[in-house]
Amino acid sequence: MAEEVKVKIQILGLNYAPEKIGIAVYSTGLADEFSARGHDVVVVCAHPYYPQWKLGEGWPQFRYRTIMTDSGAKVIHCPLYVPQIPTAKSRMIHYASFALTALPRLLGDAVRKRPDVVFVVAPSLVSAISGWATARLTGAKLWLHVQDFEVEAAFATGAIGSESRLGRMALAFERWMLGRFDIISSISQPMLDKLHEKGVPQAKIYELRNWANLSRVTVVEGVSPMREELGITTKYVAYYSGNVAAKQGLEIIPAAARLLQHRDDLTFVICGEGSFLSTLKDAAEGLNNIQFLPLQPLEKLSDALGMADVHLLPQIAGVAELVLPSKLTNMLASGRPVIATAGPDTALAQELKGSGIVTPPGDVAAFASTIEALLDDSEQRAAFGKQARLSANANWDMDRIICKLETKLCQLAPKVRERDQSTSVKG
């Protein structure tokens, strides 16, 4: 079926290349893979701004920009409001501005091409309204892919009070939006269970994991050449790479580094960018066992990940129950163990069985002692690392995940076209 049917798909999502981390990586990979396989792909996304929360250099503030990718996808970048300091209120304006600028381009393309599927990536549910309107007007199937439960995450971080008027409105809006989609996917079994708890029928739920590109992320044997390049001479490296934002629990890393100053064989490395970076650097003031690096280019991904003896994956209490961090996939693919902060019953803890260890969110002493104990146990590190790569091969392989999704989308396309033909005949 996947070889016989060519799907016309619109992808609507805030984040896309040239952003280097987070949701953009998977939305970009999805579009590139489908267009390379001969499907007709149009992406409507925002101008790049993440994780710095600043419009990318050289991008127009008020104009659209359309790009044809090497794989054949058409990518329409839309202008939007980008707050310097993201708060609950400014985020809502941010999301709404994208919904407004995306809608005319989404509709215009849909009227011309009659897509089979409108594929909406959340966050943000606010901009998902534009996808819903487009699908309603053109008869396309409507697919929502949930990367984060943004309403509950806002509750967990304190950005919105769950019992406040705004909180109740947000839940009502989420419930209404979830009822509008033909298929709703998410990235882990606990998140699929959460969708069902929110009233989504099982027949509409689909698991679409984030993936690791196993041909791009390879296991570095021995010492990564990046250590010498960066002047890291210690025996061990505890490594974090990704977005550096508030309310992620990242402050536990410099706090643990402070507790482990006596370990002159250990360097903590934080590789990333974001709104919380200056605060994190202030927390590390006076420490000589921690380094900060900018995000590394894609061609250095394996070497950067391979610097780690252990990967660090902090989460705050509440959020760890709601999301499965996208950065986990490449951590596992690198063949290195992961130490995360999460409860034992979370999706993250389940995914790390045999590949790492979870400690209670916010417990600096437990986090630091676990890092130290794992570094001192080479056999356990090797066992965790081996299982991490095996887990990536079994559960996170990009080609396998994309092929399964392609089959599903190819099953939807004929149904849309049959309905269109039936409508035309009746007309």
- pLDDT score recorded for residue 19: 94
62-66, 346-350, 378-382: range with lowest mean pLDDT? 346-350
**Given the DSSP bridges, would you call strands 74-78 and 65-68 parallel, antiparallel or unpaired?**
antiparallel
Residue 283 in any domain: the answer is yes
Average pLDDT over residues 75-98: 93
pLDDT at 399 over 80: yes
Q: Looking at the structure, tell me whether residues 204 and 348 fall in a common domain.
A: no
Residue 308 lies in a domain: yes
- Return the closest-CA partner of residue 69 out of 21, 26, 32: 32
Q: Helix or strand or coil: residue 124?
A: coil
Residue 238 lies in a domain: yes
Predicted pLDDT of residue 1: 40
- Going by pLDDT thresholds of 50, 70 and 90, the confidence category of residue 373 is very high
On whether residue 186 sits in a domain, the answer given is yes
Give a yes or no: residue 240 inside a domain: yes
Among the ranges given (246-250, 367-371, 402-406), the one the predictor scored with the smallest mean pLDDT: 246-250
Same domain, 255 and 171: no
pLDDT score of 424: 47
- For position 162, what pLDDT does the model report? 79
Asked whether residue 39 is assigned to any structural domain, the reply reads yes
- Beta-sheet strands, E only, within 317-411: 338-341, 356-359
Based on the fold, state whether residues 329 and 232 are members of the same structural domain.
yes
- Taking only the tens place, the pLDDT of each residue in 161-173 is 878 888 899 899 9
2 lies in some domain: no
Peptide bond into 51 cis (omega under 30): yes
As given in the structure block, the two tokens for residue 207 are 């698991």
417 pLDDT exceeds 70? no
Q: What percent of the chain has pLDDT over 70?
A: 95
Q: State the CATH number of the domain containing residue 127.
A: 3.40.50.2000
Q: Spell out the alpha helix ranges (H) of 61-124.
A: 88-113
Is the pLDDT at 427 greater than 70? The verdict is no
> Quick one: which of 209, 388, 239 has its CA closest to 311?
239
For residues 325 and 419, membership in a common domain is answered with no
| Residues 299-342 pLDDT 10s | 899 999 999 999 999 998 877 666 788 899 999 999 999 999 99
Instruction: Tell whether 405 and 267 lie within a shared domain.
Output: no
Q: What is the DSSP letter of 2?
A: T
3-state secondary structure of 79: coil
Which is it for the CA torsion 16, 21, 27, 28, positive or negative? Answer: positive
pLDDT over threshold 50, residue 2: no
Is 425 a residue whose pLDDT tops 50?
Answer: no
**410 and 386, same structural domain?**
no
Does residue 30 sit in helix, strand or coil? helix
Based on the structure, what is the number of domains in the chain?
2
**Per-residue pLDDT averaged across 225-253, rounded?**
93
Model confidence pLDDT, tens digit, residues 92-125: 999 999 999 999 999 999 999 999 999 999 999 9
Do 390 and 410 sit in the same domain of this protein?
A: no
With residue 237 as reference, give the H or E element that holds it.
strand 236-243
Residues 329 and 422 grouped into a single domain: no
Instruction: Please indicate, yes or no, whether residues 258 and 151 belong to a single structural domain of this protein.
Output: no
Same-domain status, 267 and 200: no
Question: Which residue range forms the structural domain that includes residue 38?
Answer: 8-211+397-426
Asked if residues 332 and 389 have their Cβ atoms less than 8 Å apart, the reply is yes
Within a domain: 219: no
Q: Give yes or no: residues 244 and 207 share one domain.
A: no
Query: Do 156 and 249 belong together in one domain?
Result: no
| Cβ contacts of 387 within 8 Å, gap of 6 or more | 354, 355
Task: Identify the pLDDT of residue 317.
Answer: 83
**Tell me, what's the pLDDT at 421?**
55
